[in-house]
Structure 1
Amino acid sequence: MNTQHTAVDTVRPVLHYTARNTWLNDPNGLIFHNGLYHLYYQNNPHGSTWGNMSWGHATSEDLFLWTEQDVAIRVDPYEEIFSGSIVFDAHNTSGLGTTLQPPLVAIYTSAYTKASPHSGLQAQSLAYSLDGGYTWEKYADNPVLNRSSANFRDPKVFRYDTGTESFWVMVAVEAVDHTVVLYRSEDLKAWQYLSSFGPANATGGIWECPDLFPLPVDGDPENFKWVLVVNLNPGGPNNGSAGQYFVGDFDGTTFTSHTTVTDGLQDPTRLSEYQWLDWGRDYYAAVSFNDVPDGRRIMVGWMNNWDYANETPTGPWRSQMALPREVELATVAGQPRLIQRPGAEMSTHFEPTPFHNSVALPIAEGTHPLEAEGPVLLLEAEFTAGTATEFGLIVRKGAAEGTRIGITPALGQLSIDRNNSGQVDFHSTFPSIDSAPIVETVGKYTLQVVVDHSSVEVFAQAGTVSLAELIFPLEESTGVSVYSLGGTATLEKLHIYAPKNPSWN
């Protein structure tokens, strides 16, 4: 939530972070430090479209209520501040702090301007903070890693511990080469090349914003796998921007994927076989927080798509972050796959509505309104298929609009139809029906749906499938319906929760 939200701004979300009156895109520097979640992000401090790239900054105690802070690292005449990450240098390996006052260190991409001696290049640089992440000083000897490349960017850095030694690892990309490059360092200043990964699977656009982290499979602490995330634009499963991931092993030098489907050039006929973070149109540049307590892995993505990002109908702010998602690895159809759900803290902001159905409800053919409404809702539904060709929910429903969340059993398909979701004519590619594969589980289809003023995020089959989509409905379109096409279905359960804070509506 943006703490400056007002009731007049009817499409500004409350659960999804937005800047007060400027543009934002990729999340950067995600870290939990001194009891707070710090969200840095690509920000234009001077306008509501992309440009003047700097790092904005927001803080939160619970991942959902955010306070916007001052711009953290600003553009200057010589460089724009592209994406990167932040680490807590607890042992002051960098020498940028002291033993008693160890620094936070930001590793970011310097996108050098024509005024710079490095004009046209992208290289990795440092900035450091001694006050917990609020004010930053650029390192005097930047850049610290320069490959003389125009497309070397988006460093994610973490501490790797073998048990006998520990060191910093950087995961970055050569964007147009579809290659992830890995480096190591003892002090965050001098970097040694380790290995490369790619091209592999989806290569229909440039690669950006990588991440690499370990997770236990099925919660087994004796069976860890590593997840390599690579975002790309365009080339997503439903067009435009998207994020993919690979599961495998990392030995401190090389990442080895066990889930690669195709090497080299993308095969467009096999997009559905790749592992996607999200199948919707609006989930990109997703990366995870460093140093979250209890070993939780929490990711945040940018909720937009480069096809139309600069033209979405909001102002003076533009763009929002997706919900923070807790991710786990589970065995699905014999393979390790990411499970994604909204961070558990979200539930503390909701309470049951009077409509809280737990009795099976047959759905006759047609559309049937429910006794629940609101621009901000959490819905948990369970369906069984009958004779219907398609069935599901309609949210933000009004007299002539609504966003349809449908299941088509014969196709094994979950879809979001936003052709009539409200204002859709601001860009030719925005009206869409976007789909994902879904497999019936023990005869059931389960959906968790989060509706938040100008977005819908769907988590299906216990988080094995997700779709994130922007919508821009009329303020008065707040209804919820169930529907069935070509026959009947059964709504086995439906729990609807409304926000505890009435001002969110």
Structure 2
Amino acid sequence: MTDTTVDRAQDRATTHLRPVAHFTAHDTWLNDPNGLVFHDGTWHLFFQNNPHGDTHGNMSWGHATSTDLVTWTEQPVAIRHTDTEEIFSGSAVVDEKNTAGFAGPGQTALVAIYTSAYRPTHPTLAGRQAQSLAYSLDDGRTWTRYEGNPVLDRESADFRDPKVFWYDGADGDGYWVMAAVEAADRQVVLYRSDDLKQWHHLSTFGPAHATGGVWECPDLFPLSVRGTDRARWVMIVSLNPGGVAGGSGVQYFVGDFDGTTFVPDGPGGGPQGADWLDHGRDYYAPVSFNGVADGRRLTVGWASNWDYANDTPTAPWRSAMSLARELELVRTTDGRDRVVQRPVLPEEPRDGLVVHEVEVPTDEGRRHEIVLHGDGPDAVVLTVDAAARTLTGDRRRSGDTEFHPAFPSVDTAPLHDAGATVDLTVVVDGCVLEVFACGGLTALTQLVFPSTPLTRVTVREVAAA
């Protein structure tokens, strides 16, 4: 870290930028969420963390816990880097059947499956990325690396980000499934295991749709279609660069999974055929929680963009997570099954968190601006264009925008199935702005760094473009 006096001065200057419901590390860097798991009434959020500074490096698993998904307590670093290994992204599971054999009588093991990124100093695996295990027998407080690591090595430099879940086979022969990526090949590789230690290849998916950057942080899960007794499978794939708004982005595929192969709906095609989970520049690497018994599917993403993540103007912390989002599928009027997202918000008002519920008419091609502002000159302008059926977020006058040339932006999202009115849930929490429209069919996330909090909203009709 830099001089502590400077750090404290910067911290005071940016106190209003630290969110209250979006998790931030106390005084270090964070990026991708890892190991999201619910166990014994506690939500565990592990995350990519540099324990020694506020920029990317020395990757380890940080750890935070919550009982409500909006009030987070940072815990000690869970799995720390070594001189020969960085701890990249992955997932965690509750090994209720003790398939890996880590638990003793009366114990339940939490098992982390993560990417070992071997440094040049490693005597035999330098430059490789392979999958490894660690386990906890005390509800995630302390972790032990498995002595047989790595458990899956393809001798690749870009094999990473394992998401593991339990799959119940048709004949009761359940097993673990891993979705990981060969990032540079834009492929999701699926494996199965009975014990989390021995893995066997099932199938490979991709490249497909958006392939402008490397693929990262895959997830694969079933999701119910609202109003029906049907469930489909959804595959989430992050990519960087090549996102819909520039830089980092997240696409998703809806299809079917038979325990071996994922088959998406519709043809392949390029990025124009992609469905995007968020149309803002600051939503990346979302993954879903394991261990949620009531069938809900809840995700958390990283609220930043690799174009400028190391330069965002906060100190001594840098980067935030998104709100948790509950996912569902709906059948839209074009006959597609699409993801809708609903943010998890505090049950009671919270200082520093502002939620605006806005509804604007869309008849006769009307155009409305929703202006978010505070006591200073800074503002974000959200525009609902009924004729174009779009939502735009303009943050070019949102405060500090000059720290990186890629930051000032106007991001545009489609308004699927917009009716006579468009409803928006606008969440402003410190430096994070999340907008949900059309019942959650559209999401747009942007970072903002205003000089004073954006606590107010003004809605005005403007001339059609």
TM-score with structure 2 length normalisation? 0.94
Percent identity, aligned pairs only, is 53
Residue 482 of structure 1, CA deviation = 1.4
Amino acid at match of 1:350: P
For 1:336, the aligned partner's letter is D
Aligned to 1:17, the other structure's residue is in SS state: coil
Cα distance in 2, alignment partners of residues 95 and 124 from structure 1: 18
User: 1:340 maps to which residue?
Assistant: 341
Give CA-to-partner distance per residue, 1:163-201, whole Å, 9 cap, x none. Answer: 421011000000000000000001000001100000000
Alignment partner, residue 149 of structure 2: 142
Aligned partners of 2:88, 2:125: CA distance in 1, in Å?
Answer: 15
Question: Counterparts in 2 of 1:8-27, with a 5 A limit?
Answer: 9-27=15-33
1:397–1:403 CA contact under 8 A, matched in 2: no
2:329 counterpart of 1:322: no
Q: 2:387, 2:453 → 1: CA distance?
A: 35
466-475 vs 388-397, which moves further: 388-397
How far residue 44 of structure 1 moved from its aligned partner, in angstroms, is 0.1
**Is 1:382 the counterpart of 2:370 in the alignment?**
no
Deviation by residue 1:344-378 (Cα, 9 ceiling, x = unmatched) = xx140338xxxxxxxxxxxxxxxxxxxxxx85311
State how far apart, in whole Å, the 2-side matches of 1:158 and 1:443 are: 41
- Residue in structure 2 matched with residue 152 of structure 1 by the alignment: 159
Q: Secondary structure at the match of 2:107?
A: coil
For the residues of structure 2 that align with 1:444 and 1:238, how far apart are their CA atoms?
A: 25
- Which segments of 5 or more consecutive residues in structure 1 lack a partner in the other structure? 352-373, 489-505
TM-score by length of 1: 0.87
Structure 2 SS opposite 1:310: helix
Number of corresponding residues: 452
- SS of 1:169 mapped into structure 2: strand
Within 1, Cα distance between the matches of 2:372 and 2:452?
A: 13
Matched with 1:177 is 185
Q: CA deviation at 1:12?
A: 0.3
Deviation at 1:386, TM superposition (A): 5.8
Q: Which moved more, 1:393-402 or 1:414-423?
A: 393-402
Match of 1:55 in 2: 61
Distance 1:476 1:136 in 2: 39
* Whole-Å separation in 2 of the counterparts to 1:318 and 1:278: 21
**Which amino acid in 1 is paired with 2:394?**
D
Contact 1:92 1:99 in 2 (8 A): no
Aligned to 2:425: 448
Return the offset for 1:219.
4.4
Partner of 2:125 in structure 1?
118
Q: Residue 86 and residue 470 in structure 1: after superposition, are their counterparts in 2 closer, same or farther (change >3 A)?
A: same
Cα RMSD of the aligned pairs, angstroms, is 1.8
Distance 1:171 1:386, change over 3 A: closer
User: 1:32 & 1:323 partners in 2: Cα distance?
Assistant: 16
Aligned match of 2:449: 472
1:371 aligns to what? Answer: none
Consecutive unaligned residues in structure 2, runs of 5 or more: 1-10
Q: In structure 2, what is the equivalent of residue 33 of structure 1?
A: 39
8 Å Cα contact 1:388-1:485 kept in structure 2: no
- CA drift at 1:441: 3.1
Partner of 1:349: 348
| CA distance in structure 2 between the partners assigned to 1:98 and 1:456 by the alignment | 45
Q: Is the 8 A contact 2:111 2:134 kept in 1?
A: yes
Please name the residue that 1:497 is paired with. none
Alpha carbons of structure 1 residues 204 and 77: separation in structure 2 relative to 1, 3 Å:
same
Distance (whole Å) between structure 2 residues aligned to residue 316 and residue 10 of structure 1? 13
2:462 pairs, out of 485, 490, 498, with 485
